[in-house]
Amino acid sequence: MGFILAFIAVFFTYLFSPFLIIYGMATSCSLRTMNDYFLAIAVAVDRLANVIGGPFFNHAAINYKGYRFGDGKETISSALGKNHIKQPREFRLFGRSIRYYLDQIEKDHCVNSIGK
């Protein structure tokens, strides 16, 4: 049953998202409202990617003792930040590389994203 529900959810999300994003932009009252709207989309997509990519990131980004990916209430950046603080020796090259590049875009992005 989970597979069918996941398939339907992904199908309808991709089908309707362009229309819904355009509608959201058109009804935004200000640039701040629009920025907040896109930030909320980014966080939601990041959390989804953490769930979908959890098994891959657990294999490619950390050793077996590291903080685990896959929690739908958490972004990938947050999991990277927790690994950086709590389990820095458990990072693999892939995980260190992702954290490094995200932190270049925004100073201390991964640590600052913990809890978001």
Q: What digits encode the pLDDT tens for the residues 10-60?
A: 899 889 999 999 999 988 888 888 899 999 999 999 999 999 999 999 999
- From 80, 100, 97, 77, select the one nearest 88 (Cα to Cα): 80
| Residue 42 CA from chain centroid, whole number | 8
pTM: 0.83
Contacts of 73 (CB under 8 A, 6+ apart): 47
Query: Which secondary structure element, helix H or strand E, spans residue 69, and what is its range?
Result: none
d(CA 75, CA 14): 20
